[in-house]
Structure 1
Amino acid sequence: MIPRALNRKGGGIVVSTRTGRLRSIGAIGALAIGALLAVPLGAVAAPEAGDSVYIGPRQGYSGTGAFPIYLDTPVDPSAPGEPDLWAFCIEHDVTARTGLEGTIGEADEFLGDNLFLDPVVQGKVLWILAHSYPAVSLADLGTAAGAPGLDANDAFEATQYAIWRYTDLGFDATWPWETPNSEAVYHYLADGAEASGGLTPADLSITLSISGPSGPQEAGTLVGPFTVTTDRPSVRVTADPAFAITDAAGTPIDADAVVDGQELYLDLRDANTSGSATVTATAEGTTVGGRIVSVPTTPGGTPSEAAHSQTIALVAPAGAVSTASAAAEWVGDAVPPVIGTTLVDAADGDQTLPWNGGTATDTIAYQHLIPGVEYTVSGELMRKSDGSATGITASATFTPTVPDGTVQVSFTVPSGYAGQQLVAFETLTQAEIAEPVAVHHDLADAAQTVTVEAAPVVSAPAQHGGAKELAATGSPLAGPATAGLLLIALGLAAVTPAVVRRRPVRR
């Protein structure tokens, strides 16, 4: 076979068959990032094909390191923390990009055009991933390969060269190894893959899921079932909050040895309040081992055959565990709804209406309603004096989004109620329930009472002209008539003596 040229960032390399040995003709920079790279052993929420993952900066020697993979984009990409998974390149001649999200897919969704399209090559690559670091520990890999004191950089390099031997070269070759340990591990992996029949993604991954109850749940019962699905011999389950986990009969189960298809229940027989809980299943391994990640050329882009960045293959670190969760909610003993009202003049907000009528607004405060359920509040104004109905009504239909809140209705009060006090009686009904769920009928409640002002008093108009009543005999004269008579009398009294004095005396 004619040797193939592989372009590599930092300089080109030419490979030959093993008999010819390989010689480096380009400068290969090395970036040592520590003797050991930390590999997480924490639980990973079970990802699936189609999920997005974040690709961190490559770690290891320049050009031959591994990619840290994060199921969630780090809040601070410059300090992303420990990765959830790792990945290696399966497309040497395509530019790698990091610091963006890629999409998990199956091997048959590979967008490239190199030898990885061959299922046989895919099986060899998966064998390499399963038998190298970080799928096995550095100590175990070093012992198996005869590379004592093996560090992560050498393990990454050997693994990457072994993968390219199948995906881009097609034959064994001598590579520009950084150390003898890197070379030893490479031969261990390449020879082992060649001798093997290859692996499938199922050999590098697990199945793990859990489903929760589909119907409504109630406090005071066994809440469930939660059903575990897995290909592991057993998994561990936990509940948060930590309720006892039982079978359908209420008998506690061994939560550390739950098997495929087992149905679980939360023991809420002593509970009487509403609540929720999450049941989590945990198993060793990953659900996406051996899957690939298709990477766009720009952040947020969609990779395609015509335009994509370097495709990478996923592997879980040794000791990694995956989790799957399901949640359930339940209702407790019903707390009856409660309503209270505040009735005011819509015009100025006080509790006094004009004597000739107006609009009264009643604000109904409610508690303990069921969000999402339709309610109707209906009100009528009653006379405070005798409790009789006025026939003045108002209503509102609403669907609360939270248990506690307020709703308003408006009463139009016509004239005719001057001087009266009116009290709002409110009734709350729930859709599809005949009886009221809450009432507030209290004639003595000042908050739901308005007073209608008294009507103004109008004086009788003065009379002008027409017949005049004569003073009764013996009654005193009054007003102008009396004054006139007095003046006449005084005048006569003054004139009479003079007349008398001028009368001639008869002789």
Structure 2
Amino acid sequence: MSSSFSALSVRRRGAVRLACATLVSGLVALGVLTGAGTATAEETTQSQGGATATMGGLKTYGTAVIHENTGDQQVSAGLFEMSVDGGGTLQTYCVDIHNPTQRDAKYHETAWSGTSLGANKSAGKIRWILQHSYPQVNDLATLAAKAGVKGGLTEQDAAAGTQVAIWRYSDHADVDAVGPQAEKLADYLQKSALDVAEPEASLTLDPPAVSGHPGELLGPVTVHTNATGVTVTPPADAATSGVRIVGKNGKPLTSAADGSQVFFDVPEGAATGSADITVQASTTVPVGRAFASETRSQTQILAGSSESTVSATASATWAKKGAIPALSAMENCARRGVDITAANQGDETFTFELMGIEHGIPAGETRTVTIPLQEDQPYDFTITGPGGLQKRFTGILDCRTHDAESGNAIQVLSEPSPATVGGTADDTNLAATGGTSTTPLIAGIAIALVVIGGAALVLVGKKDAPTQD
């Protein structure tokens, strides 16, 4: 098995977008998988850990008006609810007004740098709004008094006003709440907002991948969490492989805390291979954490969290000699792409070719290569390494908010409308006009398929590792 990446490719998958007058789907094809081994790749998203959740829909909302050159449009504005995998509930607002939100879309907790918030100088003010408004402030009488709202606030007013204030910073939109109380709250929040730092993740493992030689402690992998403690799950084949998860003192670990260092203890005679560990905890996710979709669904920002299940995974790769890469990936909106990081703990240079450029990572060094992608471009990377290691990373690059000219739907309804492209149905929430359902509107809308095209990205390994007995 090659000690370098034997293949890395990107595929463009169909993305459904719904506009108020036209229904358009875009499909970009970027290459095919090349030279992959027979092993099944483990599929992951570009999440460094935390909560994963499923969109439930818009639950508490009012009405807002977007003012544009083409005219005014009424939309629903308010608070979403998501159910956490493993248990828990999240409340969120959206930070991309012109992008639709799909019912049942999968979301994962992510750093601002992997979303449009990373390049938004007002992102810290959005977090301030979240901390000082509904639902974090659920005493609506007090909130109304601070905002100077006469007659008080309903939950719908509070949710709509908060969402409108967020849109003014997340999308720099010219948007007003329809209700006078909600509009008064939005003005107060916008004018009062201060810059607040990005919150830490609920749970991450750093680094997410390590490598080394059998007989060594591979690591450390450091636990970062706001939970009081985490459980540590050893590799699934630990009983047969002999790989143990230990602390820096070499003693087995089944639990850890924030700041704990975790190591893979690989037997000295182990053949070339790899293993994963998972840590899990129950905690509240910090307000202001971003949630990105695994499909093309509107980016969310956390407004409230119940006690919820969070998890993170780290991997280890080992070999007796040759290049031994530890591989990980992360979306990087500042560079408009996905960062592929390789840490080489072997005794030979790890050499690979990316888009016609050869890269070499000397023994003991770590380097990152950025794969440039287009906005809204789904990707599908399979990265292979020694001992049959294959990791598959999938997602969609969502680094910018959309504007009205992009042809996307505007905001959301409380109930989704189904749309079918190529036989696949997606529940997508559309904008409301006067608070009414758009289902009759889209029932007779034609579907246009636009093939945009793309270029293949292939990462080919150059250095072969010796076969281990």
The normalised TM-score by structure 1 is 0.34
Structure showing greater Rg: 1
- When you count strand as a share of all residues, which structure comes out higher? 2
